[in-house]
Structure 1
């Protein structure tokens, strides 16, 4: 773990869903199923190894749309929305997708910080979070389908800050993508904790590791990371 930040007090922790809380493989599998079905409708096939190569390439780059890349490789660029819509039919988190470090970590954070969900997700994700006991620890909800803005749009971060009544300097965003999470949060003045799993790069570069304020490899490291950001 490393840190490049100051020691302002933290009152609010903003938490992404896919990656920090649930395994991103769920969305990867939904996207593969959708691409395979749409390709078959046009008499084509999707090679899973090639799909994984494109998926990992986009993860490593941490920029550009995964759905655009998959549509361009296996369908047509114009099929991006069709692909997105079809994938959403299958994008649901089963209980097994919940990382085992999530609930113990949230129990540690409860009472010390306000906690917000800030995620590019459909509203139904709240049902999964309730089912799995995560929602019991959440104070503010900023789900893109409800807010009407997706990360890295500043409005979704600002919505959570307003709901919590917290200034950006007293908040930290925790996510696993550089483009939507780390860079988006930094533009609003938030500090960031980068969780390197899920759609994070398979092999983070030194330059990528230098972008967030703190880097962790599991959510179990988050309480200590927050202490470090506050100089404790």
Structure 2
């Protein structure tokens, strides 16, 4: 029987366990309508492309970058921003997320490391995911925000897990993969969503593996041959 190379698996939330495509589409529609009310035509394709480019630049605030690109006038930009609201209630877990966590929890301890607003545990409970998760480290509750490596160090220290025995799973190279590798964790990139064109800034910070969707993770774990996470893979 293959021994587990890690003890803890930590997941990001948005676009990893939880599908954000509906609220993203909604806020893009809000932006188009807000611009249209001012006689400015913008299209969904251009907004999505600008969003992906912001991620490629590792922008900490992609929507702020998009608005600056589309609306150079500060007063106009601020007015449009005030009319927009990200509707988190439109989030929903990916169909495979619950069964994956249930399966993994038999062999691994499961945690979450995520940039989330207050109430992360409650939302995970509402998605039916929390019953398989032992520890949640959210930016709102810890006061530490990805990609700050201290959030990862805090999670490792609190759980008592050595970095080399931890795997981070997320959709962002900048927020998930790079800081996890910086502290010595393994890292699995779920290459989907608006950040799928990101790339690692150095060989030593490459992901330990890449999958196209969270549903492929169990198979990846079966085939994974881990190397020292402090070295380039």
Task: Say what the alpha-carbon RMSD is for the aligned residues.
Answer: 3.3
Point out the structure with max Rg over C-alpha.
2
Task: Tell me how far 1:200 sits from its aligned partner.
Answer: 3.0
Task: Tell me how far 1:24 sits from its aligned partner.
Answer: 2.9
Task: Tell me how far 1:76 sits from its aligned partner.
Answer: 4.4
Q: Is the 8 A contact 1:51 1:70 kept in 2?
A: yes
Alpha-carbon distance in 2 for matches of 1:84, 1:164:
39
2:230 aligned partner: none
Would you say 1:120 and 2:115 are equivalent positions? Answer: yes
Give the alignment partner of residue 90 of structure 1, picking from 74, 87, 91.
87
Task: Tell me how far 1:180 sits from its aligned partner.
Answer: 1.0
Alpha-carbon distance in 2 for matches of 1:84, 1:111:
45
Of stretches 75-84 and 29-38 in structure 1, the one that deviates more from structure 2 is: 75-84
Would you say 1:14 and 2:13 are equivalent positions? Answer: no
Q: Aligned with 1:116: secondary structure?
A: strand
Q: Is the 8 A contact 1:177 1:199 kept in 2?
A: no
Q: Deviations over 1:126-178 (max 9, x none)?
A: 33321121111111111111111111101211221122111111101000111
Task: Report how many residues are paired.
Answer: 221
Q: Is the 8 A contact 2:116 2:138 kept in 1?
A: yes
Task: Tell me how far 1:105 sits from its aligned partner.
Answer: 0.9
* Change over 3 Å in CA distance of 1:130–1:76 after alignment to 2: farther
* Change over 3 Å in CA distance of 1:211–1:125 after alignment to 2: same
* Change over 3 Å in CA distance of 1:81–1:149 after alignment to 2: farther
Task: Tell me how far 1:29 sits from its aligned partner.
Answer: 2.7
Q: TM-score, normalised by structure 2?
A: 0.79
Alpha-carbon distance in 1 for matches of 2:137, 2:80:
25
Q: Aligned with 2:157: secondary structure?
A: helix
Counting only pairs closer than 5 Å after superposition, residues 17-166 of structure 1 correspond to structure 2 as 17-33=13-29, 35-36=31-32, 39=35, 44-59=40-55, 61=56, 63-64=58-59, 65-76=61-72, 89-94=86-91, 97-166=92-161
Alpha-carbon distance in 1 for matches of 2:213, 2:225:
17
* Unmatched tracts of structure 2, length 5 or more: 228-233
1:3 aligned partner: none
Q: Is the 8 A contact 1:8 1:230 kept in 2?
A: no
Alpha-carbon distance in 2 for matches of 1:193, 1:102:
15
Give the alignment partner of residue 175 of structure 1, picking from 170, 175, 178.
170
Give the alignment partner of residue 214 of structure 1, picking from 209, 212, 216.
209
* Unmatched tracts of structure 1, length 5 or more: 1-6
